[in-house]
A and B are shown apart, each in its own frame.
Chain A
Amino acid sequence: DVKVTQSSRYLVKRTGEKVFLECVQDMDHENMFWYRQDPGLGLRLIYFSYDVKMKEKGDIPEGYSVSREKKERFSLILESASTNQTSMYLCASSFWTSGEGAPDTQYFGPGTRLTVL
């Protein structure tokens, strides 16, 4: 079974703090993703990475950065946390392709619920 783990289920931080969210996958997937999930807004892509040290901005990258130094680990960084970054953060991973020339299924972690006070 694919396993995607996230470092914390719940996190409380103060405005202005630097926050690190860690994600690890054990399936040797090339692609990794960070989303945020908000009620009524669904999931929105923050950043993704298709290889070590490679990254691409998603739909809402402002206020976030990412790091992928090893294939299995993808970190999301909030340089200076703000209250509007209070959210559920989901990490996902997938193979480059399903073998049918299409992007493969993404597997999700349990999420980190971040509260910024």
Chain B
Amino acid sequence: AQSVSQHNHHVILSEAASLELGCNYSYGGTVNLFWYVQYPGQHLQLLLKYFSGDPLVKGIKGFEAEFIKSKFSFNLRKPSVQWSDTAEYFCAVSSNSGYALNFGKGTSLLVTP
């Protein structure tokens, strides 16, 4: 069965620390990859996405993610986190043959001052 797994459920970092959130998927064929973020009290919004081309994609607020096809991974990174990055982060995958997104269970990030 197709699945998306996020390695860390809860992450606590100090401001200015580097961030890497893992995401692995099990899908056959062409995939489309997304990272969504949900800030406290706000709705889910797109952080970045990968459909094709350069496997290193840049998103909003200094985030980037790298698609490594051989590892079935799409890890999210940020070199220096800020307190305002405190949020829940969701990795999601869809295939070209489907419309719906399959979400991971999410990673809750807390950035302390």
Binding site for B on A (CB under 8 A): 31, 33, 35, 40-45, 48, 50, 56, 58, 90, 92, 94, 96, 98, 100-103, 105-111
Q: Hey, what's the 0/1 contact readout for B1-21 against A, CB within 8 Å counting as 1?
A: 000000001000000000000
Most buried by A among B36, B42, B100, B101: B100
Q: Is the CB of A103 within 8 A of B99?
A: yes
Q: Is the CB of A45 within 8 A of B100?
A: yes
Number of interface residues of B (CB under 8 A): 26
Q: Is the CB of A101 within 8 A of B100?
A: no
The DSSP consensus for interface residues of chain B is: loop
A105's partner among B34, B43, B102, B106 (CB-CB below 8 A) is B34
A108-B51 in contact given A102-B32, A103-B99 (Cβ < 8 Å): no
Q: Is the CB of B45 within 8 A of A108?
A: yes
B46 CB contacts on chain A under 8 angstroms: 105-107
Q: Is the CB of B43 within 8 A of A102?
A: no
Nearest CB of chain A from residue B68's CB, rounded to whole Å: 19
Closest B-chain residue to A109, C-beta based? B43
15 contacts between A and B (CB under 8 A): A33-B100, A33-B101, A40-B9, A40-B105, A43-B90, A44-B103, A58-B100, A90-B43, A92-B44, A94-B99, A98-B51, A102-B30, A103-B100, A105-B49, A108-B44
